[in-house]
């Protein structure tokens, strides 16, 4: 079963539709990994095992009817800042302990419509105010590559869980780097989408003019697959953009020749570690070699 960790969202979806594996089996595999490894990592605040298996059985029935699409049967983790019915939403704060939202956030509603499986609530800095996931009022999340180091934040639980293979992908939120920074520290893909592309309805706000919801994944292709499901106009969010959603997956592998890439001067700061500087410069050279300027 460990080979499942090497499959992306699209490959897992295809395996589910071909009945090579069931969502219940896939979900059980991830729940077992959480049980085995998260005691030390502490990426999850609450693991919703019974609910996950219930959602997996519903996904298998949907697949049996030939109705599977998008994220049907795929086990994901959710940052504890997005409202969900029947599950606590605490924002990693004792203040909200026991709070259960009366409605689902729009992104959750869309993922439920696609048939995703919710493995549980992922740790974060309290009310998203931090960049290390040490400021949760419940527990400190570790970096799966080195347990003596931080995973970043505030979506550190999401990044750590994805990097450790404790979910296929996860949702996080980003105000001033809270998806991108932990993604960088944990070696995952993290995207802060364009403002208004994803509805913020049901997100517990930090700074509503900056907050965005986005995916943390193991690959760009997975990021596109999740974004395809959660993006789109929502009349419940007045800042949501009333524009059609592009086919993000069609962009994968597209030539970058002729593109102009901006490099912020602030990336190269005094005291920057040489390894980090070298990684950024290597990424720039990849674009140059492929025809970007």
List, for residues 31-71, the tens digit of each pLDDT value: 999 999 999 999 999 999 999 999 999 999 999 999 988 89
C-alpha 291/C-alpha 289 separation (Å) is 6
Q: Which residues contact 21 (CB under 8 A, 6 or more apart)?
A: 4, 12, 15
Of 83 and 264, the structure prediction assigns the larger pLDDT to 83
| CA 274 remoteness from chain centre | 29
Are 154 and 171 spatial neighbours (Cβ–Cβ below 8 Å)?
A: no
Please report the DSSP string for 125-184 in residue order.
SGGG--SSS---SS--PPBTTBTTS---SSSHHHHHHHHTTSSSEEEEEESSSTTHHHHH
* 277 labelled catalytic: no
Give the mean pLDDT of 215-243.
Answer: 97
- Is the entire prediction scored with pTM above 0.85? yes
**What pLDDT does residue 267 have?**
81
Q: Which of 62, 79, 142, 192 is catalytic?
A: 79
**Burial category of 54 from C-beta neighbours within 10 Å (exposed 0-12, middle 13-18, buried 19 and up):** middle
User: Are residues 195 and 203 in contact, defined by beta-carbon separation less than 8 angstroms?
Assistant: no
Catalytic residue among 136, 178, 199, 240: 178
As a whole number, mean pLDDT of residues 173-199 equals: 98
pLDDT at site 265: 87
**Section 129-150 average pLDDT:** 98
Catalytic residue list contains 132:
no
**pLDDT at site 69:** 87
Above pLDDT 70, what percent of the chain? 100
Q: Strand, coil or helix: what is 245?
A: coil
Where do the domains of the chain lie, and which CATH numbers do they carry? Answer: 2-252 (3.90.1300.10), 255-293 (no CATH)
Residue 269 predicted with pLDDT over 90: no
The yes-or-no answer on residue 199 being catalytic is: no
Which of the following is catalytic: 23, 132, 154, 240?
154
Q: What is residue 31's predicted lDDT score, i.e. its pLDDT?
A: 99
Segment 75-122, tens digit of pLDDT: 999 999 999 998 999 999 999 999 999 999 999 999 999 999 999 999
């Amino acid at each position: 079963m460990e080979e499942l960790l090497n499959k992306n969202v699209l490959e897992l979806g295809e395996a589910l539709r071909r009945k090579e594996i069931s969502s219940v089996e896939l979900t059980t595999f991830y729940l077992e990994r959480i049980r085995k490894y998260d005691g030390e990592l502490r990426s999850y605040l609450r693991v919703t095992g019974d609910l996950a298996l219930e959602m997996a059985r519903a996904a298998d029935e949907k697949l049996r009817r030939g109705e599977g699409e998008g994220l049907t049967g795929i086990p994901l983790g959710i940052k504890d800042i997005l409202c969900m019915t029947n599950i606590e939403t605490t924002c990693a704060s004792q203040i909200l302990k026991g709070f259960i939202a009366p409605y689902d956030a729009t992104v959750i509603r869309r993922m439920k419509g696609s048939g995703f499986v919710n493995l549980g609530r992922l740790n974060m800095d309290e009310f998203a105010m931090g960049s290390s996931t040490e400021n949760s009022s419940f527990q400190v999340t570790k970096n799966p590559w080195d347990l003596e180091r931080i995973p970043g934040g505030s979506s550190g639980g999401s990044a750590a869980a994805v990097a450790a293979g404790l979910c296929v992908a996860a949702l996080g939120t980003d105000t001033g780097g809270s998806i991108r920074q932990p993604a960088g520290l944990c070696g995952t893909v993290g995207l802060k989408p364009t403002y208004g592309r994803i509805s913020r309805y049901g997100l517990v706000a930090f700074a509503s003019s900056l907050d965005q919801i986005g995916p943390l994944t193991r690959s760009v292709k997975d990021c596109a697959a999740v974004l395809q499901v959660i993006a789109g106009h929502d009349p419940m969010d007045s800042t949501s953009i009333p524009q059609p959603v592009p086919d993000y997956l069609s962009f994968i592998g597209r030539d970058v020749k002729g593109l102009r890439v901006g490099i912020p001067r602030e990336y190269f700061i005094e005291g920057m570690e040489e390894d980090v500087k070298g990684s950024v410069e290597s990424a720039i050279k990849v674009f140059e070699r492929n025809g970007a300027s």
